[in-house]
Structure 1
Amino acid sequence: MKDYIEERVLELARYILDTNSTVRATAKKFRVSKSTVHKDITERLQEINPGLAAEVKAVLDTNKAERHIRGGLATKEKYHSRSSK
């Protein structure tokens, strides 16, 4: 694996742990695709640092479990802002 990819993988992992960020938010922050973030975190990080991969997986699993709630809140806000105008 190239050095710059390894550095990116570790930087993405640290960011996700520090901020409890989602894959989408992380991709936006680092200006890479969601697919890249997902592959880096699920496959490449496992090869580089399995312990860190487990920690990041826990954060992503939590985000995945909560996403239906965030989606519902976003929809509620959308219609609430429409009715206020």
Structure 2
Amino acid sequence: MKTQPEGRAVMLGKFITENKATVRAAAKYFGISKSTVHKDVSERLRTDDPELYAKVKDILEINKQERHIRGGLATKRKYEAMTCHKKGRFYR
């Protein structure tokens, strides 16, 4: 994605608000790093579009509060896939 940082920040902000996406999801969708997404929506967007920045900030705060739940569910799925339910043994 070769875009000017200002335009990219607004595009990322709109994507996050429309999809209630995480920084990781936005980075994957646009093919850029998580740190670039974070810098764009936390610094550049603040000056480019303060109203959109406030919305994105609220969504990212919710994502931050829920991240431990998503991590626990991912770990649960991982170990359920590795376990043979009949014998309780782990297989890879």
Structure 2 spans left out of the alignment, 5+ residues: 85-90
- Counterpart in 2 of 1:78? 78
Q: Equivalents in 1 of 2:80, 2:41: separation in Å?
A: 36
User: 1:57 Cα deviation (Å)?
Assistant: 0.3
Q: Equivalents in 1 of 2:13, 2:70: separation in Å?
A: 22
- Counterpart in 2 of 1:53? 53
User: 1:6 Cα deviation (Å)?
Assistant: 1.4
Q: Does residue 65 in structure 1 map to residue 54 in structure 2? A: no
Q: Equivalents in 2 of 1:78, 1:6: separation in Å?
A: 39
User: 1:72 Cα deviation (Å)?
Assistant: 0.2
Q: Equivalents in 1 of 2:36, 2:4: separation in Å?
A: 14
- Counterpart in 2 of 1:36? 36
Identify, as 1 or 2, the structure richer in helix.
1
In the comparison of the two structures, how many residue pairs are matched? 83
| Aligned residues: CA RMSD | 1.2
- Counterpart in 1 of 2:15? 15
User: 1:7 Cα deviation (Å)?
Assistant: 1.2
User: 1:5 Cα deviation (Å)?
Assistant: 1.6
User: 1:63 Cα deviation (Å)?
Assistant: 0.4
Larger Rg, first or second structure (1 or 2):
2
Structure 1 spans left out of the alignment, 5+ residues: none
Q: Which amino acid aligns with 1:39?
A: K
Q: Equivalents in 2 of 1:70, 1:33: separation in Å?
A: 21
Identify, as 1 or 2, the structure richer in strand.
2
